[in-house]
Amino acid sequence: MSVGKIYMGHPLRLDRFAAVALLRDIGRDQADMAELRRLCAEELDRRAIHGLRDEQVIAQLAERVAAGGLTVALVRRPGPGVPSTMQVAEQGEMAALPPAAQPQAAQEAAAEEATTPMLSNPRWSADRVAVGAEVQALFSYEGFQAGQAVTIKIVECNADGGRSEVESIQVEVEAESGEHRAAWSRSAAEAQVDLEQDTKENDTGPVEYRFTVKADEAESSEESGPLWLTSTVTVKLVSEEDGAPAPDGIEVGLLDAQGEEHRAASKDGKARFEGVLVGPIRVVIGAVDALP
């Protein structure tokens, strides 16, 4: 497998189903699959690619092909007896040889994919929201029937990779293909339960939620990125001698579960911090640098 110039072939638009089928056929060879993963890594965080299965890598690249950001072609170099090679080239225009020239396995897979529902690209509309605030869970779908049921499974994640389901949402897609969004929120009481459970499990990270999407006759989507909740934290400051409120203007520092620094000055015996991630926190009177 190589990357670069396309030597032969008549331009032909590939939809997502055909792109998936062709990329799957390419990925049958381990060396070619490694090249596909390298291409995908150029579009994603280098660390994120290691957590993706080969099928998820193919889905990511197929999205780019369907959007016109990646060109896939069957290439035959001039000269008798020279074997054909598959080639992927990053170009603005899409190209491929006509279906008759594509590998038979790819054609058969494309026909099968055309009738198989697909779910992809699950993501939150924001990566942080206040406790109790509404956020949208979004995903893309193809090959469905209007009104077909889809399940959004939301889990709370631990730093050690553990997952515990917190809610399942049943929705119906509006068309054969498109993008769907579903509103979701986590109340203060629910977030407190999640935080207490994390504390029991010695999870030192923030309370974190991710989701996947599944439906009958469709493979479950990859997992979404993280969603973190934020809240306002109020620290009461009193005198150790008589319990009286501390004077105004005392500097107070706070480190949240991600190590982000927050500062506030006391007023009426309290220091107030807004937008703090829900999770373990550390507080110090004075400069945050004094924290261990």
pLDDT, tens digit, for every residue of 232-265? Answer: 999 999 888 888 888 899 999 999 999 899 999 9
Q: Which two tokens stand for residue 120?
A: 């992809």
State pLDDT tens for residues 114-166: 558 899 999 999 999 999 999 999 999 999 999 999 999 999 998 788 899 99
State pLDDT tens for residues 155-173: 999 878 889 999 999 999 9
Task: Centre a 10 Å sphere on the Cβ of residue 171 and count the other Cβ atoms it contains.
Answer: 17
CA distance 5 to 165: 47
Task: Centre a 10 Å sphere on the Cβ of residue 48 and count the other Cβ atoms it contains.
Answer: 12
Name the pTM for this structure.
0.61
Q: What is the mean pLDDT of the chain?
A: 80
Half-sphere exposure of 253 (CA within 13 A, CB side): 13
For the chain, the domains span: 16-113, 118-229, 230-290
The Cα angle at residue 237 between residues 235 and 243, in degrees rounded to 5: 140
Q: Which two tokens stand for residue 83?
A: 């074997």
Read off φ and ψ for residue 228, nearest 5 degrees: -115, 145
State pLDDT tens for residues 14-64: 777 777 778 888 888 888 888 888 888 776 655 556 667 777 788 888 878
Q: Which two tokens stand for residue 167?
A: 């809610």
In the predicted structure, residue 86 carries a pLDDT above the cut 70: no
pLDDT average, residue stretch 188-203? 93
Q: What architecture (CATH level 2) is domain 118-229? A: Sandwich (2.60)
Predicted pLDDT at 285: 86
pLDDT average, residue stretch 194-223? 93
Task: Tell me if 60 sits within 8 A of 44, measured CB to CB.
Answer: yes
pLDDT average, residue stretch 177-201? 95
Predicted pLDDT at 8: 43
